[in-house]
Amino acid sequence: MDTLTKTVGEKQIEKQSMAGSEAVIRSLLAEGVETVFGYPGGAIMPVYDSLWHFQEELKHILTRHEQGAIHAAQGMARVTNKPGVVFATSGPGATNLITGLADAKIDSTPLVCITGQVASPLLGTDAFQETDIISISMPVTKWNTQVTKAEDIPSAIAKAFYIATSGRPGPVLIDITKDAQFASLDFSYKKCNGFRSYVPKPALDHDEVEKAARLIDSAKKPFILFGQGIILSEAENELKAFVEKTGIPAAWTVLGLSAMPTDHPLNVGMLGMHGNYAPNKLTNECDVLIAVGMRFDDRVTGDLSRYAKQAKVVHLEIDPAEIDKNVKTDIAILGDAKESLQLLTSLCSENNHDDWVQKFHDLKAIEYDQVIQKELNPDKPGLTMGEVIRRVNGLTDSEAVVVTDVGQHQMVACRYATFKQTKSNVTSGGLGTMGFCLPAALGAKLGAPERAVVAVIGDGGFQMTLQELGTIFQTNAAVKIIILNNNFLGMVRQWQQLFFDKRYSSTELVNPDFVTISKGFGIEASSVSERQYLDAALKTMMDHDGPYLLEVMVEKEDNVFPMVPTGASVEDVRLS
């Protein structure tokens, strides 16, 4: 390898001559990347060959499917707030990333995906494994670009990391032609810290914050809604300070879960379709609604024309396109949640709203009686999903990262899991991607090896990406996998029961033996179906040194309540 020195302006920049493929690896190292998830193939082989020489510095996790790789990278990003990195080959390798890209886009997860592409002279010729991944991934990436020249690799990667992680984070994709990977360049790496067409963080407008503070101070029934923006901007302490100083009750969206300890006295629970009774009902009673880092998803708002119409709305948000998108705001505070909350808290007066908070407790008592008690301490023989989660809370002292898939078990886990630490709830919120959990849990465990990681999966979703048991076995990542087996695509069955006259069209599953499957992958496993053995089974799982799969046979036709049916208003939340 030649080392040459060039004088650029006044500065001497060390330049090393190397292949584009090696420049990919060195660029990632310069960004502090330690782990990459991926799957090799023809068009990305030069990069894999370069990777061979950097095995000490850059760990590569060979998943069993590219969808597994990208969900694992998402899981890692969600527990670390650092971008997940993925390699895939051209054609099918690249198209297998699409679901993960869409998931990361809608859940604002920072990812840098690098795909191989056919050599540039072959572009547009329908060459073997050529696919126009730039066009295909366009609507599901925050940004993407194709690199056809080796010398462009470092600057493209630098820009990719900057875009993925700044402002509202998101997935980016760089497609690198094979000839660019082979060609050589004079390598030097310069991190990107801004460019003309991109304003990641709107400047905070003090006057608006001041106005908001006056409105909040004068409110009789103020209500805070927080979302993942808190976690992404690391504003957990600022949120807590704001809530405690103003005495305002706060509720979370699914992605905001764990940003505030679940047992905080002003934490009043979950919003939305399967959220808690009180926050849904009282959304339509509050006088000032303060939304922080959330985007008023339709699963949160229900019917918009009957959503919080009585309230003045303050929206703290980093993405200007979210303002007034779904809910009309009275005061928009554009900017990073951390800075916005800091200023807002300093301008608000100390206050308490005990009578108003009491209303939340009163409604919670109703929900407790009619729903929660039966779910957590059932008096019927069949196991409920909720009692499993309650025991996991106990066994992990609310310190675990809980990763969920999509369906009833997801809603139950989000409702009943308790958290002390932030970045502890990893789930596919916006896209609702079945198959997300198993690979995401692997990524979460690798991203937070010191923490217990519990994957809670339905029997349906497990079978969408179960091949990643192979990756879990190979890496020996100590993921604790709980399959809540109801022999149904439970959430769809629930809707069929409630809205389609119990016509269970294609939702019953005849399942394989999950324990044998797991053992076949070399992962210790067991199954439990009776309450008297549940505690011991969960304890065995948690105590086991290494990954473990526990199948829990639960009641087949349980439903998740409360529920705001599609098209209904939040105040029409049903308890049964």
Partner 1 sequence: MKETFTIVVFTENKIGLLNRISAQFTQRHINIESLTASESEYPGIHRFTIVINEDEEKTRKVVKQIEKQVEVLKAYCFKDSETVHSEIALYKIKMDPSLDRPKLDNVLITHGAFVQEQVGSFMIIAKTGTKEETHQLFEDLYPFGLQGFVRSGRVSLSNTMSTFKTYLQALETHSKEIITDNF
Ligand X SMILES: Cc1ncc(C[n+]2csc(CCOP(=O)(O)OP(=O)(O)O)c2C)c(N)n1
Task: Supply the residues annotated as catalytic.
Answer: 66, 128-129, 178, 491
Is 51 near ligand X (CB under 6 A)?
Answer: no
Distance CA 405, CA 388 (A): 15
Residues contacting residue 209 through CB under 8 Å, at least 6 positions apart:
333, 340, 343, 344, 347
Burial class, 139, CB count within 10 angstroms (exposed 0-12 / middle 13-18 / buried 19+): exposed
Choose, by CB under 6 A, the member of 432, 522, 546, 565 that binds ligand X. 432
Pick what 163 binds: partner 1, ligand X, none; C-beta below 5 to 8 Å, kind-dependent. partner 1
Is 173 near partner 1 (CB under 8 A)?
Answer: no
202-221 burial string, b = 16+ CB within 10 Å, else e?
A: bebeeebbebbbebbeebeb
Is 531 near partner 1 (CB under 8 A)?
Answer: no
Is 152 near partner 1 (CB under 8 A)?
Answer: yes
Q: Calculate Rg over the CA atoms of the chain.
A: 25
Is-contact 106 140, C-beta < 8 A? no
Dihedral-angle region of residue 270 (phi above 0 means left; psi in -120 to 50 means alpha; beta otherwise): beta
Is-contact 444 78, C-beta < 8 A? yes
Is 96 near ligand X (CB under 6 A)?
Answer: no
Joined tokens for residue 71: 């969900």
Q: What are phi and psi of 369, to 5 degrees?
A: -60, -45
| Closest residue to ligand X using C-beta atoms | 458
Is 274 near partner 1 (CB under 8 A)?
Answer: no
CA distances from residue 427 to 30, 418, 434, 503 in whole angstroms, order as listed: 30, 15, 10, 29
Amino acid, res. 407: G
Is 123 near ligand X (CB under 6 A)?
Answer: no
Pick what 249 binds: partner 1, ligand X, none; C-beta below 5 to 8 Å, kind-dependent. none
First to last CA, the chain: 70
Is-contact 513 527, C-beta < 8 A? no
Choose, by CB under 8 A, the member of 1, 4, 321, 510 that binds partner 1. 321
Pick what 145 binds: ligand X, partner 1, none; C-beta below 5 to 8 Å, kind-dependent. partner 1
Choose, by CB under 8 A, the member of 16, 81, 95, 145 that binds partner 1. 145
Which residues 456-515 are close enough to bind ligand X by CB under 6 A? 458-461, 484, 486, 488-492
What angle separates helix 490-499 from helix 408-416, to the nearest 10 degrees?
A: 100
Which residues 174-233 are close enough to bind partner 1 by CB under 8 A? 192-199
Pick what 409 binds: partner 1, ligand X, none; C-beta below 5 to 8 Å, kind-dependent. ligand X
Is 384 near ligand X (CB under 6 A)?
Answer: no
Min CB(69)–ligand X separation in Å? 17
Min CB(102)–partner 1 separation in Å? 13
Pick what 138 binds: ligand X, partner 1, none; C-beta below 5 to 8 Å, kind-dependent. partner 1
Residue numbers at the binding site for ligand X (CB under 6 A): 405-409, 432-435, 458-461, 484, 486, 488-492
Binding site for partner 1 (CB under 8 A): 134-135, 138-139, 142-147, 149, 152, 155-156, 159, 163, 192-199, 319-321, 323-325
